[in-house]
Chain A
Amino acid sequence: MKIKEITIYGFGRWVDQTFSFSNSHLITLLGNNESGKTTLHQFILYMLFGMTKKKGDFYRPKTSSKLGGRMVIEHSSEGMIIIERLEASEIRCFGSDGEERGPSWFSDLLGNVNKETFQSIYSFSDQDLAVLEGMKESDLSELLLSVGLTGSAAIYNVEKKLTSELQKQFRPSGTKPVINEKLRELRVKDKQAAESKQLEKSYKEQIEKMHALEKKYILKKEQIAVTNEQLEKEKQLEKILPIRKEMLRISKELQALADVRDFSLDNQEQIETLHADMSHVDRELRSQQTAIDTYTEKMKNLESISLPDKEKEQLNQFLNQKSEIALMIERQKTLKQDYNYKTREIAEMIQEKQVHITMDDLEQLDLPFYLEKEWAVLRKERESIHENLADNMRQKEQLIQEQLRIQTECKAVEKELLADVHVEELQQRINAYQQTNNLDKTQQRYMDQMLNQMLQEKLKQARFVVIIGVMVALGAALIGYTGNMPWLYLLSLASVVGVYYYRRVQQQDIKNIKQEQESWQTNQSEPETDVTEAEYLEAQEILKEQQALHRQMHNLKAALQQIISQIEVNEAVRYDLTEQKQRLEERIVSQQKQFPFLQAVDVFYWQDIYHLLQKLLQLTNEKNKLKKELDRVKERISTFSAQVKKWFEQQNGAASEISLEEMMLTLEKIQQQEQRYQYERGQLAQWIKDVQNKQSVLTQKKQYYKEELDKQLKAAGAASVEIYAEKKARKEDYNKLDARQEELKERIDIMLPEKWQQKWTEESLEFDNHYKNIKDQELALADYEEELEQLKSQQAEQKLRIEQLESAEDISLQMHQLAMGKEELEDLAKNWAVQKTALRMLTAAKKQYKDTYLTLVMEAAQIYFKEITRNQYDTIYSPAAEQPFQVENSKTKQRFRIEELSQGTRDQLYISLKLAINEVMAKTSGLPFLMDDAFVHFDRERTESMQQVLKRLSENQQVLLFTCHRELAQAVNGEVIILD
């Protein structure tokens, strides 16, 4: 890149000034002080990089308000480009084609080198060189990066971003950043949780406390129980005081009776029993003797009053028959009743049915078995004859009526009939007419047909009636036969007759019709007469009527004939019936003669009479049987009665007129008496025997008792029963007292529980002692109870505390929240760690970069430095850690820090570095060097060396050298522009 032309619109002292540079790369701008060299240098920087408004105002010309200018630059690849700036505004760029480009385009052309970088490498002035003075390692690497790497700004930005991001997240001792805040929150939570945990941990302690309290409570309770017992004991002892006093008294009394203490009362009962038994036996012996005497006397009395044996036997015999006789008497009674009943029944029956027969008749009456049938037949026959006769009479009347009716009808018809002459005449008239007028054959045929039809109908009718009639007749006969109803036979007969009659009438009709038909046909052949039509029609009419009348007449006659014959038949039948009736009457009379009681009875009831008689006969038989039985029974009773009477006469000497029953009762009484005597005697004998036995046993017993008693008394140490009794009384007193003593002891035992019994005898008998003890115990007890209550409430409190701990679930919640907080922190920390690592990686990458290029730069710088210092120094040490640059003398190998060097050497070092960086790093080589009186501190030799370097440098890059030293300007041998 080469600056070809500079046009200044206005900048510092320069207004509307143009500088054109030749093709030479080394251009010296020579001018005295105040000639505007530095301003021009600043202008170029301004054109390339712009400037702040403040600085712009500083360079605003005094004579013109215009600030700005433009530059024509030759670029190796882009060609001639123009840049222009006005005021502190953006740069305007125009490419070689004159087209305007964006500012970044130009920035790219500069290789993204910013003003600072440019100044530190390409711009040389007193001040610029001084910049290097404090340069540290990091600064140097920054510098290298910005010069050497396109896009170093991006790296820088990322670095900045990450740093600020990290700052926002965490600062080791900050409070605001997110992680710090989270940490604070966690610390608080952790503290709270730890406190809660501490509280929770006290649970164990609390439980232990609870157990301790429970133990105390139990102990206290036991103490109370003990005291209560004591109290109770004292109270009881107090209560038993009177008893104990009584016991004391009794023991004294017992002392007095001590002599009988060992007197045995063991045999007391035995001795007394024996004594009592002996006197009892004596008493009994005496009483039994009197009993024996009484019994013997009674025995004698009984023997004197009882009957002799023979009499007794007889008596027994009678009494044995007694039940039989009683049965007989009973039987006699029933038989009599039955007999009377039967007799009455027969009489009643005869009376009721009004049969003319006596009981005697009945007894002789004989009714053969066939009689019933015979009488029944008679009745039936008579009935049938009567019925037939009645039917016959009815029939006869009907027939006569019918005959009369037909006869009157005949007379009526006869009156109507014309004489034959008239008929003939009429016939002739018709025939005459027919001769003139052809008789209509159709009419004839029609007539024919009509008649045929009538005939057919009649036949059909006849057949139907005959069938019905026959069926009725057969049906009636059948029913009559099966149902045994003879009158139906008559109905059957009548229907047969009816049918027969009807058939006859029909046949007559049919015959008439046939005749008519024939006559109709013959009539046609009659001669014809001359007659008018009216006459003809009239004649025809009359003829028709006449023919009809003839037919009717004929029919009537036939019917009459039939009736007459029927009447004859009827009469013959009636005659037969009358005869039959007479024969029957005869038979009836013969029967009535044989059985007179039938005379008053109609045949119709004979059969019933028969049944009645049978019944009566049966009853009579039964009555006779009863009679016989009755007689037999009466006989038996009278025999027995006679025997008994006789026995009584023997006994009492005189026969009394008493009934058999009374006698029997008396007999029974006597027998009972005898039996009682017998029993009593037996008993008495037994008793006497028993008593005698007892007497002997008692005597033995008495002996035994006596011996025993003597033995016992001897053993008891008493001479007699009386002495024994006295001793016994004293012993009993003793025993009573002793028992009382025992009883009192027992009462105490009952009142005092077992555990206290041993001691009670030792306790004082003073009442006051107990009273005091009781009061003491009661006071102590009250204290204990109070303490117990306190323990109880403490226990309750403790329990509550434990329950609170148990139900304090927020501790768990705190722990979980803390855990979540930790997770969140973990996340934040990881996120931070990632960013931090990223930043560190970036830094490391930069360091790598620096490490790679710094060596190269240093080597190049050493060469420049050595050349410029004319081999005075050959080594440069780059800054490391806090160490700034150092140089080494090539000969003495001494190292010098920068501040130890002369100003000139210092400047030479910086220039060497700048040239080295340019040589090694600059990618877009060819940025122009701006050197503003950079060599003022150089001696002549080194200036020459520098001139050599500049010459070499300007082979590739443009070098603008600003100076006030004419000789230097001439020495570098380039284009010289003099500013003025």
Chain B
Amino acid sequence: MHSSVTFLHAADLHLDSLFKGLRHIPANIFKEIQESTFTALNHLVDKAIEHRVDFVLLAGDLYDHESQSLKAQIRLRRAFERLADENIAVFLSYGNHDFIKGDSFDVEYPDNVHIFPGESVTSIPFYKKGEPAAAIYGFSYENRAVYDNKSSEYEPADGEFPFHIAMLHGSVATNTEHDSYAPFQLKDLLNKQMDYWALGHIHKRQQLHTNPPIIYPGNIQGRHRKETGEKGCYLITLDKHQVKQTFLPLQAIRYEEAEVDIQDCLTPSQAEKEIMRQLPKYSEPSLLYLKITAKEKETLTLDEVMVQELIEVINEALVEAFPWQYIYHYKIILEEESSQLADAFLKNILAESDTAFIREGINEIYQHKDARRFLSSLSDEEEQAIQADAYRLLNKLLRKERAK
């Protein structure tokens, strides 16, 4: 009987899923970004081989049915084949994005890949040199959602297995941030006498419990503004006496949020230098969401065109650096704006312009037969933001016009 197993636990690969919030990205780095989920997958395989793991657990959402990418599945197959060459097994369950009945391509995976076949929890034994080494438990989403609490279905398999490892794609019942699929309570999991809970679905890395470990490894590559920082998988070694867990970063590109302060800058070139100086540095390429705190000066007008030019200049330099960086979005926070707000003429109009009023105006484009195909409908927050922005703009324009 083997006294230890070593494996990688990853989830939410979302291969080839589309990135959010990217605009006007230069072609060379765009290609890199577009490839980044696959690069991270390759890193995962590299790590598995490097650490000579026994198997790899993939807890759901390997790819998105929404993206409908054959490439995702082919690359996945190639990754599995690489693992097969090294005699590393793969246990995977499908999640809410790659559910079984979804419209996926029928790509066949090699024999080292073990897929949990349906929505009831089953166990798959893992043998190491002919000896039973671990029992892996899990289930796959057959449809877009699973609303049942599945934790009660995890029951130890027959036979002598030194370790019991459970895979679950879902979230804690109280979680409101995400769709609460396969909801569970922490105490339900703890009651199950599993040696390890390999969770998936939540993209932010977190450890719900230490012994036994109950871990969301997060996704392996950030894809939008909210998925910042290091992304990767866990290297787990279970033996009779202890559990070793190590987080291995896999991301090809980091999403980061940065704040810079250029209140003291008097000229655009000073502002450029100051922003460059204050930008954080990372060892991988990074996509930055920049918050710029600024103050308008006589010599430094911070209108839309000006700031955009400034960012473009900075981006030109950043893209050439190694590793490259790119400010994909920014936000200017101007200090005195509030005091200058509200033209007397407009004093009553904000209350007047309700959602219906705004919608009526913008429907021209959002309901346009061509445009609406490509535009997602606006959320309330977005509408409110438009209202606020419009009011601010109007005030600014009037102020300028009156000043002439």
Contact = CB atoms under 8 A, between A and B. Distances in A.
Given A154-B402, A812-B16, A835 B30 contact: no
Interface in B68-83: 68-72, 74
A22 B232 CA distance: 94
B352 interface: yes
Given A812-B71, A829-B371, A845-B345, A172 B364 contact: yes
B241 to A, nearest CB: 46
Interface stretch (B20-28, B44-52, B87-95): B20-28
Residue picked from A821, A823, A826, most chain B C-beta under 10 Å: A823
A465 interface: no
Contacts of A179: 365, 371
Interface string A424-447: 000000000000000000000000
Given A820-B25, A845-B349, A834 B389 contact: yes
Interface residues of A, number: 58
A158 B390 CA distance: 13
Interface string B104-119: 0110000000000000
Interface in A780-820: 805-809, 811-813, 815-817, 819-820
Contact of B34 (A170, A186, A813, A823): A813
Interface of A: 149, 151, 154-155, 157-158, 161-162, 170, 172, 179, 183, 186-187, 190, 197, 200-201, 203-204, 207, 805-809, 811-813, 815-817, 819-827, 829-830, 832-842, 844-845, 848-849
Given A207-B106, A806-B74, A841 B389 contact: no
A829 B390 contact: no
Residue picked from A154, A170, A838, most chain B C-beta under 10 Å: A838
A838 B393 contact: yes
Given A151-B402, A816-B34, 19 more contacts: A149-B345, A154-B398, A158-B398, A170-B365, A183-B371, A204-B106, A808-B70, A816-B30, A820-B19, A826-B375, A826-B376, A837-B390, A838-B390, A840-B358, A840-B360, A840-B361, A845-B349, A848-B348, A848-B352
Given A823-B21, A849-B345, A834 B106 contact: no
Smallest CB-CB A-B distances: 4 pairs: A837-B390, A154-B401, A819-B18, A833-B362
A838 B375 contact: no
Nearest to A197: B68
Given A207-B106, A837-B362, A837-B386, A815 B374 contact: no
A262 B398 CA distance: 135
B67 A824 contact: no
B18 A816 contact: yes
B336 interface: no
Interface string B333-359: 000000000000110111011000110
Interface string B154-170: 00000000000000000
B398 A155 contact: yes
Nearest to B74: A806
A448 B378 CA distance: 149
B23 A824 contact: yes
A158 B71 CA distance: 51
Contacts of A812: 16, 34, 69, 71-72
A805 B376 CA distance: 30
Given A833-B361, A833-B386, A838-B390, A158 B401 contact: yes
Nearest to A810: B71
A183 B391 contact: no
A811 B365 contact: no
Contacts of A840: 353, 357-358, 360-361
Contacts of A807: 74
Interface in B366-398: 366, 368, 370-371, 373-376, 378, 382, 386-387, 389-391, 393-394, 397-398
Contacts of A822: 374-375
B31 interface: yes
Nearest to B364: A172
A841 B346 contact: yes
Interface in B300-346: 345-346
12 contacts: A203-B105, A812-B69, A815-B16, A815-B69, A816-B30, A820-B22, A820-B23, A820-B24, A823-B23, A834-B389, A834-B390, A837-B390
A203 B349 contact: no
Contacts of A817: 30
A947 B269 CA distance: 71
B397 A837 contact: no
A834 B386 contact: yes
Interface string B1-45: 000000000000000101111111100001101100000000000
Given A183-B374, A812-B16, A848-B352, A155 B345 contact: yes
A177 to B, nearest CB: 11
Contacts of A826: 375-376
Contacts of A197: 68
Nearest to B382: A830
B365 A837 contact: no
B24 A838 contact: no
Contact of B375 (A829, A839, A844, A849): A829
B19 A816 contact: yes
A890 B349 CA distance: 38
Contacts of B370: 183, 187
Contact of A838 (B22, B352, B373, B397): B397
B401 A844 contact: no
A207 B353 CA distance: 57
A328 B160 CA distance: 96
Contacts of A190: 373-374
A142 to B, nearest CB: 15
Given A154-B402, A204-B105, A834-B393, A827 B23 contact: yes
Contacts of B362: 829, 832-833, 836-837
Contacts of A837: 353, 358, 361-362, 386-387, 389-390
Given A155-B398, A837-B386, A186 B374 contact: yes
Residue picked from A190, A820, A837, A840, most chain B C-beta under 10 Å: A837
A807 B78 CA distance: 11
Contacts of A155: 345, 398, 401
Contacts of B389: 834, 837
Given A830-B386, A834-B386, A841 B23 contact: no
A815 B70 contact: no
A157 B401 CA distance: 7
A767 B72 CA distance: 66
Residue picked from B20, B30, B376, B397, most chain A C-beta under 10 Å: B397
A815 B67 contact: yes
B361 to A, nearest CB: 4
Contacts of A204: 105-106
Contact of B352 (A806, A809, A844): A844
A372 B381 CA distance: 147
Contact of A806 (B22, B70, B357): B70
Contacts of A200: 68, 70, 105
A21 to B, nearest CB: 36
Nearest to B37: A812
B391 A838 contact: yes
Nearest to A165: B397
A836 B71 contact: no
A813 B360 CA distance: 36
Contacts of B70: 200, 203, 805-806, 808, 811
B390 A835 contact: yes
A658 B279 CA distance: 140
A179 B105 CA distance: 35
